[in-house]
């Protein structure tokens, strides 16, 4: 594997940089550079998606026939890295990176024609209905039921930890359409319009104070059978395909490289307790060096994985490995950032950040005063939000079990 960029790749990188320099407004850059979680400010994120759609760059990994860019794997990686370096906010992954590829793979021609263009434009903004109060990492234990009634499925139950359910106008859900000997059987993958009567969304406030997560209740919600993705009772296969994209179907190293580089820059200016700057402290600089080594390893593994994808092969169980490595390293970087922030990192001041959701009850100071630098205000909220990284998309303990069974044959 040649890890060097070609002349064509470097020319593409320069084109991307010119585009970002021209199109990224200060407000949109702020939404990207001061994010407190994996989700950007909703309104500015949608504005950025509109700009990208005008350019034809909304979904680089999609096939050209569905609105993709036709880029090579290397070009997609470069675009991702340059986007984070420029401060561009990431688009919500629920539509473009998750349900979109699944609709392409399992959808009927009618479903593809209806849903895919609206995902690209942002007209359809999606949320995910997987977890339930009694079914998290053990997703096959889900209980939300869907009973057949003519041309409809009537859905009753609830989903929890549903990100941006208040903003979403569509939700993709796993529902139980029958009881079988194996819990993975009898599950159906369903696309539901959030405006359907019988749906209620209740907020869940996170430890960071943000309202990003929700619980969604379904009371005899009627959904056309035409919205089944795949076939009734075969949803587990569809869900596993989607989880490959959620766990490891995209590169995490570009964002983490930028975040670690920004932390190193901050440490080069942050005063140390013993005088000088924090970067000169041998203990802290050793932690940064160790994190950089881990990140370089992650990047090389992602290069190999993306090469596999470019050859049309499934990422398979490698997605579990990448999910563990990326989320645990992301958590570690937030720990280092919080350590570097010092006492200023203990102050709750989200007005200096760009959270992914509203913070009910928080009143910002009228003069906008910030204790320390903006990165020090971001650090504690990032730390709190990143705790969920090793839980979502299947906990890291579950991923290690998958690898032990499928790879090590234990």
3-state secondary structure of 75: helix
d(CA 107, CA 93): 19
Own/partner contacts of 6-13, CB < 8 Å, gap of 24 or more, are: 6/74, 9/72, 9/74, 9/75, 9/78, 12/71, 12/75, 12/78, 13/78, 13/82
Tell me, yes or no, if 328 is annotated catalytic.
no
- Alpha-carbon gap, residue 206 to 315, rounded angstroms: 32
Q: How many residues does the chain have?
A: 410
CA angle 21/24/30 to nearest 5° reads 120
CA distances from 162 to 126, 128, 240, 272, 392 (A): 10, 6, 18, 41, 11
Measured between alpha carbons, how far is residue 335 from residues 265, 349, 390 in Å? 16, 18, 14
| 271: DSSP letter | B
Is residue 70 packed enough to be buried (19+ CB in 10 Å), middle (13-18) or exposed (0-12)?
exposed
138 and 401 Cβ atoms separated by less than 8 Å: no
CA atoms 226, 227, 230, 234: torsion sign? negative
Say if CB 24 and CB 86 are below 8 A apart.
Answer: yes
Alpha helices in 281-317 (DSSP H): 282-310
Quote the tokens at residue 45: 């994120």
Q: Which of 167, 244, 246, 386 is catalytic?
A: 246
Angle between helices 282-310 and 253-267 (to 10 degrees): 160
> For residues 158 and 156, what is the distance between their CA atoms, to the nearest angstrom?
7
C-alpha–C-alpha distance, residues 48 and 28, integer Å? 7
Nearest alpha-carbon partner for 317 in 401, 391, 250, 397: 401
Catalytic residues: 246
């Amino acid at each position: 594997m040649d890890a060097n960029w070609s002349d064509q790749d470097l020319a593409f990188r320069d084109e991307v940089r010119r585009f970002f320099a021209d199109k990224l407004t200060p407000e949109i850059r702020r939404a990207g550079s001061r994010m407190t979680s994996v989700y950007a400010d909703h309104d500015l994120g949608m504005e950025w998606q509109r700009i990208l759609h005008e350019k034809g760059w909304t979904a680089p990994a999609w096939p050209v026939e569905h609105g993709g860019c036709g880029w090579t794997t290397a070009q997609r990686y470069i675009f991702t890295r340059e986007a984070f370096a420029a401060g561009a906010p990431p688009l919500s992954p629920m539509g473009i990176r998750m349900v979109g590829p699944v609709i392409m793979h399992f959808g009927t021609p009618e479903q593809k024609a209806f849903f895919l263009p609206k995902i690209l434009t942002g007209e359809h903004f999606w949320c995910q209905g997987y977890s339930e109060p009694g079914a998290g990492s053990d997703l096959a234990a889900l209980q939300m039921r869907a009973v057949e009634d003519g041309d409809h499925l009537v859905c009753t139950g609830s989903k929890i930890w549903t990100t941006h359910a208040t903003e979403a106008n569509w939700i993709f859900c796993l529902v139980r359409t029958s009881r079988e000997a194996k819990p993975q059987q009898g599950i159906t993958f369903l696309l539901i319009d959030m405006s359907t009567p019988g749906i209620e969304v209740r907020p869940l406030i996170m430890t960071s104070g943000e309202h990003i997560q929700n619980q969604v209740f379904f009371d005899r919600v009627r959904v056309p059978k035409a919205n089944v993705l795949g076939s009734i009772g075969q949803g587990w296969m569809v869900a596993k395909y989607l989880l490959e994209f959620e766990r490891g179907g995209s590169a995490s190293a570009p964002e983490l490289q930028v975040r670690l580089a920004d932390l190193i820059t901050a440490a080069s200016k942050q005063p140390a307790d013993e005088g000088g700057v924090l970067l000169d402290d041998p203990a802290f600089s050793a932690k940064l060096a160790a994190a950089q080594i881990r990140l370089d390893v992650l990047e090389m593994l992602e290069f190999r994985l993306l090469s596999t994808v470019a050859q049309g092969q499934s990422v398979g169980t490698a997605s579990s490995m990448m999910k563990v490595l990326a989320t645990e390293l992301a958590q570690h970087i937030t720990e280092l950032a919080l350590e570097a922030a010092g006492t200023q990192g203990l102050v709750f001041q989200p007005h200096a950040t760009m959270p992914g959701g509203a913070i009910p009850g928080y009143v910002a100071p009228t003069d906008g005063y910030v204790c320390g630098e903006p990165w020090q205000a971001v650090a504690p909220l990032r730390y709190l939000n990143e705790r969920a990284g090793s839980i979502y998309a299947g906990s890291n303990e579950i991923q290690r079990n998958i690898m032990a069974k499928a790879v090590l044959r234990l």
